[in-house]
């Protein structure tokens, strides 16, 4: 499972993601704040963002899905 922060653009009402049965199959809700959620997801960030865009009819610029895991190993390059 992946951990992500989900945030919608300012000016949009934050939908109740936990009330969506389609999302209940793939998400576990950890934290809900006024402007964002922290969730555990069975799908990666790209797939999750696409689902959110389709389910809530929002543009790509209006929903952000960011991993909460920091990986220092990803920054190294092998030559």
Q: What is the pLDDT of residues 38-54, one digit of tens each?
A: 999 999 999 999 999 99
Q: What is the pLDDT of residues 16-41, one digit of tens each?
A: 899 999 999 999 999 998 888 999 99
Separation between Cα atoms, residue 55 and residue 23, nearest integer Å? 9
Q: Is residue 43 one of the residues assigned to a domain?
A: yes
Range of the domain at 26: 2-70
pLDDT of residue 69: 73
Count structural domains, the chain: 1
Q: Is residue 40 one of the residues assigned to a domain?
A: yes
Q: Is residue 6 one of the residues assigned to a domain?
A: yes
Q: Is residue 49 one of the residues assigned to a domain?
A: yes
pLDDT of residue 70: 56
Of residues 28 and 77, the one with the higher pLDDT is 28
Split at pLDDT 50, 70, 90, the class of 10 is confident
Q: Is residue 38 one of the residues assigned to a domain?
A: yes
The 3-state secondary structure of 17-61, one letter per residue: HHHCHHHHCCEEEEEECCCEEEEEECCCHHHHHHHHHHHHCCCHH
Q: Is residue 75 one of the residues assigned to a domain?
A: no
Query: If we measure between CA atoms, which residue out of 13, 1, 3 comes closest to residue 65?
Result: 3
Check if the beta carbon of residue 31 is closer than 8 Å to that of residue 72.
Answer: no
């Amino acid at each position: 499972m992946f951990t992500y922060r989900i945030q919608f653009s300012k000016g949009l009402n934050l939908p109740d993601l936990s009330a969506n049965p389609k999302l209940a199959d793939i998400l576990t809700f950890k934290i809900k704040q006024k402007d964002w959620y922290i969730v555990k997801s069975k799908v990666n960030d790209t797939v999750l963002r696409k689902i959110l865009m389709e389910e809530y009819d929002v543009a790509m610029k209006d929903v952000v899905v960011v991993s909460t895991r920091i990986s220092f190993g990803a920054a190294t390059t092998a030559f």
